[in-house]
């Protein structure tokens, strides 16, 4: 299947390698709004696409690609995705969907009008350990009441992130929020969030946040995070604790998850039994996203990250930012109206 890749920055080049490595895809075209950058990236990867340039409309007319890969900055996602869908071309794009929910809803509407797939690459769903964690919870804990995640990494990116508003919630929390939906199999109802920027932060925007979500099954999900926490980092997947009627399950984002479940109630502490779940290897990250996207195009199956579902994770980000600005609880329904 012939792909048109839009965006030739660091992540665009990662997607270029991904497309070249996948036996079911070909990198037919590559564009970037910066003249010469796509050609430079193609040369770096040792490939010669049929079309290299700067204009999306021209590239679509020249190539008639089977799908578009949108790896532009978030501000470009809506235009690239709606343009491609307007030509009847399926799209897989990087997170987050857009810069705000009005754009995201327009992108979903464009997918509906075209009758074509728009999928967001939520790459952290393609990890055998998170699948093992969800299975461990589902088979052992009973109804969940509490889900907590901690994300603490001192990330010295430089560049645009240093100047972003709401940098942690907007740039990174989408991964963890989406993982919470995947783990709990629940959707967000409301959120109360607070943001701040530690005195030592190298970011201009808020690099730390605490968010309390109410989820659709009555679950309380708490997110705590910081982009400028030096030392003793959490994993990039986060550090998780799930508490249900029958026990507790932990996953540190590194190894396999573990749990303790009630074997016998009574006494000061119930008698507990250790339970584990061994993860199975899967194609991970953006490689896993591309594999599932191509399979969905061929079979009609609904993939992870399909836009009607992924907008719920993006709504968590938008609602958390709105709550932090207003200093009050915000409902997801209010944000989606």
Q: Under CATH, which architecture does the 125-281+315-336 domain have?
A: 2-Layer Sandwich (3.30)
In the structure, what pLDDT confidence band is assigned to residue 267 with cuts at 50, 70 and 90?
Answer: confident
Core vs surface per residue 182-214: b (16+ CB within 10 A) or e: bbbebbbbbbbbebebeeebbbebbbbbbbbbb
Q: Could you tell me where in the chain the CATH 3.40.50.720 domains are found?
A: 2-116
Cα dist from 76 to 100, 137, 232, whole Å? 12, 38, 35
Average pLDDT over residues 88-117: 96
CATH topology of domain 2-116: Rossmann fold (3.40.50)
What is the three-class DSSP state of 166?
coil
pTM score, whole prediction: 0.93
Burial class of 11 by CB neighbour count within 10 A (0 to 12, 13 to 18, 19+)? middle
| Beta-sheet pairing, 188-196 with 208-215 | antiparallel
Q: Could you tell me where in the chain the CATH 3.30.360.10 domains are found?
A: 125-281+315-336
The rounded distance, in Å, linking the Cα atoms of 14 and 260 is 39
- The whole-chain average pLDDT of the chain stands at 96
Report pLDDT for 232: 97
Average pLDDT over residues 50-76: 96
194-227: pLDDT as tens digits: 999 999 999 999 999 999 999 998 999 999 999 9
Rounded to 5 degrees, φ, ψ at 157 are: -75, -45
145-191: pLDDT as tens digits: 999 999 999 999 998 889 999 999 998 999 999 999 999 999 999 99
Burial class of 128 by CB neighbour count within 10 A (0 to 12, 13 to 18, 19+)? middle
Residue 83 tokens, joined: 């343009």
């Amino acid at each position: 299947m012939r792909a048109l890749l839009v965006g030739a920055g660091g992540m665009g080049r990662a997607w270029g390698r991904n497309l070249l490595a996948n036996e079911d895809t070909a990198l037919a075209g590559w564009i970037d709004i910066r003249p010469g950058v796509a050609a430079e990236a193609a040369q770096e990867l040792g490939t010669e696409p049929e079309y290299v340039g700067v204009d999306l409309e021209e590239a679509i007319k020249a190539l008639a690609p089977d799908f578009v890969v949108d790896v532009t900055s978030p501000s470009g996602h809506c235009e690239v995705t709606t343009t491609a869908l307007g030509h009847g071309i399926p799209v897989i794009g990087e997170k987050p969907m857009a810069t705000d929910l009005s754009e995201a809803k327009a992108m979903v509407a464009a997918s509906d009008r075209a009758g074509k797939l728009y999928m967001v690459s939520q790459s952290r769903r393609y990890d055998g350990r998170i699948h093992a964690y969800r299975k461990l919870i589902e088979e052992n804990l009973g109804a969940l009441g509490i889900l907590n995640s901690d994300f603490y990494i001192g990330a010295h990116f430089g560049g645009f992130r240093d100047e972003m508003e709401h940098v942690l919630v907007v740039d990174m929390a989408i991964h963890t929020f989406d993982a919470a939906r995947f783990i709990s199999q629940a959707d967000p109802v409301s959120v109360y969030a607070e943001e701040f920027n530690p005195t030592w932060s190298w970011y201009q925007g808020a690099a730390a946040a605490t968010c309390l979500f109410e989820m659709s099954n009555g679950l309380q999900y708490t997110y705590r995070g910081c982009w400028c926490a030096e030392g003793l980092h959490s994993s990039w997947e986060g550090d998780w604790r799930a508490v249900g009627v029958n026990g507790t399950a932990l996953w540190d984002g590194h190894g396999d998850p573990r749990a303790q479940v009630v074997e016998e109630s009574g006494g000061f502490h119930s008698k507990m039994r250790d339970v584990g779940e061994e993860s199975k290897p899967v194609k991970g990250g953006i490689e896993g996203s591309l594999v599932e996207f191509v399979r969905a195009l061929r079979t009609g199956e609904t993939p992870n990250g399909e836009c009607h579902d992924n907008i719920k994770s993006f709504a968590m980000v938008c609602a958390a930012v709105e709550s932090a600005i207003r200093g009050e609880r915000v409902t997801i329904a209010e944000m989606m109206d």
